[in-house]
């Protein structure tokens, strides 16, 4: 066989093109790293390494990479591509230092390290909510309340954080069932904060059924905020959050009003969880928050963890939640178009990453992931976990993300030990297949806990990931809304002021 024929056949089966194919000097510009995503049949979005984006007509990405954009005939687009670091007229962009500074700004949250320290002060609860993510108990406070010793040791570890600004959050169960332990923890943390030069925000998460004037006056004296649960109007809330022999909704509304009266209007936040029952009432849920004087709502899907999924009625498809989310978001935009500021908080978090140079503190939208870097959990029994979700897995006897314990684990063993190092290998979406080449990578995050809980693998597989499906579609929809309606874009920009 002739040598030329052999070469020809080898080329036909090559996995890579010849070197000449990759020689960018033949064009009028050089490509910088960026990806694209098709928004709809007419439009696509280009996104670079720091989250800058350009909305363009479909097919523009192909023209750019094939060097079919001309600086004279496509002057406006060409200038946008140059100024936003999509292309460069030199091998190395003269503005590469500016780009690197902006990238560092996106990752500044890593410098301060762990801010949120969750103390699961008690596993006891007097509610029997169907979607509860832990197997709550009602008795034996000595066994199911966090001990004073563990509170002390948790505070000691919290003070070791390099972050000056900390949050100490008390969760349950129902945290107020261990109110005396909360009082102890706040007093101890206040004294330690003076020694270590820390500034601490204190938050109690509660269903409000046990809230009293005495508790609230103590909260006022100690600058403690309240986070409550409100799933929607009475028929939704009472269905989701069962209180034996009482209306959970009535108690929650009474607690909200009392908290505002004593602590002030902005002293209480509320969080909803979307169950299969909630899916039928997106507009009613939004209106409930609006009518109750809240200036926003966090449309949160049910977490696929722990005790919650024992009940079949809590399971639903991600697409069902996305349909619910879009109807609710459109209702929120209608409210804003009347001149009333009302925010959807998950959308606002995404917009912060899309429209500003900054990152967010929300664990699910960080890369490297917010677990350990942003949050740590001290369980009632002294176990230390990477996130609240991984603590939920532990209630099902899955301790994959248990980092240590408060009795004999040191700070270094918890934060820099073998378990943390293994997690660190798969917590950055820049290095994960399916995320690394996704246009929405800069706006999303990595969640190995979710991957493990839903797919049985910490690395995960993006095509089957409900986390990926939800975030990608919401981000795509946000871009579509901004691109198709200038009034919506102005509303979104106003949410960031």
170-213: pLDDT as tens digits: 998 899 999 999 999 999 999 999 999 999 999 999 999 999 99
Residue 149, pLDDT score = 98
Using the structure block, give the residue that is written with the tokens 């979104």: 492
Full-model pTM: 0.91
Q: Is 279 strand, coil or helix?
A: helix
Q: Tell me the β-bridge partners of 55.
A: 45
Q: Are 237 and 248 in contact (CB under 8 A)?
A: yes
How big is the chain, counted in residues?
497
Averaged pLDDT, groups of 10, the chain, 497 residues long: 57 62 65 96 96 97 93 92 92 84 91 96 80 55 89 98 97 94 98 98 96 98 97 95 88 97 95 94 98 97 68 80 98 98 98 94 93 96 94 88 96 96 95 95 95 93 95 98 97 97
Could you give the CA distance from residue 190 to residue 85 in angstroms, rounded to a whole number? 47
Angle subtended at Cα 421 by Cα 419 and Cα 424, rounded to the nearest 5 degrees: 115
Residue 262, pLDDT score = 98
- For the chain, list the domains and their CATH numbers: 29-106 (no CATH), 110-428 (3.20.20.70)
- Among 264, 165, 257, 270, smallest CA distance to 224 is for 264
402-460: pLDDT as tens digits: 999 999 999 999 999 999 999 999 999 999 999 999 999 999 999 999 999 999 999 99
Residue 315, pLDDT score = 78
Both tokens assigned to 388 = 């609240």
Could you give the CA distance from residue 397 to residue 310 in angstroms, rounded to a whole number? 14
């Amino acid at each position: 066989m002739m040598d030329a024929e052999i070469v020809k056949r080898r080329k036909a089966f090559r996995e890579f093109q010849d070197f000449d194919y990759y020689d960018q000097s033949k064009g009028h510009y050089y490509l910088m790293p960026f990806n694209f995503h098709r928004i709809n049949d007419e439009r696509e979005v280009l996104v670079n390494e720091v989250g800058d984006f350009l909305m363009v007509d479909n097919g523009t990405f192909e023209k750019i990479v094939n060097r079919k954009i001309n600086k004279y005939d496509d002057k406006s687009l060409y200038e946008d591509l140059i100024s936003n670091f999509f292309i460069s007229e030199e091998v190395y962009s003269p503005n590469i230092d500016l780009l690197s500074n902006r990238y560092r700004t996106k990752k500044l949250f890593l410098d301060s390290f762990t801010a949120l320290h969750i103390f699961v002060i008690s596993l006891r609860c007097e509610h029997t909510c169907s979607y509860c993510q832990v197997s709550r108990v009602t008795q034996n406070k000595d066994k199911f309340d966090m001990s004073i010793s563990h509170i002390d040791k948790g505070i000691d570890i919290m003070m070791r954080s390099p972050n000056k600004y900390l949050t100490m959050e008390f969760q349950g169960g129902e945290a107020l069932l261990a109110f005396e332990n909360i009082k102890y923890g706040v007093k101890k943390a206040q004294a330690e904060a003076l020694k270590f030069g820390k500034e601490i925000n204190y938050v109690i998460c509660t269903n409000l059924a046990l809230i009293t004037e005495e508790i609230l006056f103590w909260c006022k004296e100690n600058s403690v905020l309240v986070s409550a649960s409100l799933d929607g109007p009475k028929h939704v809330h009472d269905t989701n959050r069962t209180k034996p022999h009482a209306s959970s909704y009535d108690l929650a509304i009474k607690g909200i009003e009392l908290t505002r009266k004593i602590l002030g209007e902005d002293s209480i936040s509320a969080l909803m969880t979307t169950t299969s029952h909630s899916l039928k009432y997106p507009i009613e849920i939004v209106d409930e928050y609006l009518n109750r004087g809240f200036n926003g709502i966090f449309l949160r899907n049910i977490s696929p963890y722990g005790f919650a999924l024992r009940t079949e009625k809590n399971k639903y498809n991600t697409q069902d939640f996305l349909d619910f989310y879009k109807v609710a978001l459109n209702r929120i935009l209608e409210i804003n178009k009347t001149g009333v500021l009302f925010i959807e908080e998950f959308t606002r978090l995404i917009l912060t990453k899309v429209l500003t140079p900054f990152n967010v503190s929300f664990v699910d939208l960080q890369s490297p992931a917010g677990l350990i870097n942003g949050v740590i959990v001290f369980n009632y029994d002294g176990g230390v976990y990477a996130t609240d979700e991984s603590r939920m897995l532990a209630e099902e006897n899955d301790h994959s993300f248990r980092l240590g314990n408060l009795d004999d684990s040191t700070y270094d063993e918890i934060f820099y030990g073998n378990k943390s190092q293994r997690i660190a290998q798969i917590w950055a979406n820049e290095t994960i297949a399916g995320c690394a080449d996704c246009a929405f990578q800069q706006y999303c995050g990595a969640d190995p806990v979710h991957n493990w809980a839903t797919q049985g693998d910490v690395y995960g597989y993006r095509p089957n990931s409900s986390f990926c499906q939800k975030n990608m579609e919401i981000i795509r929809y946000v871009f579509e809304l901004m691109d198709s309606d200038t009034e919506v874009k102005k509303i979104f920009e106003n949410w960031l002021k």
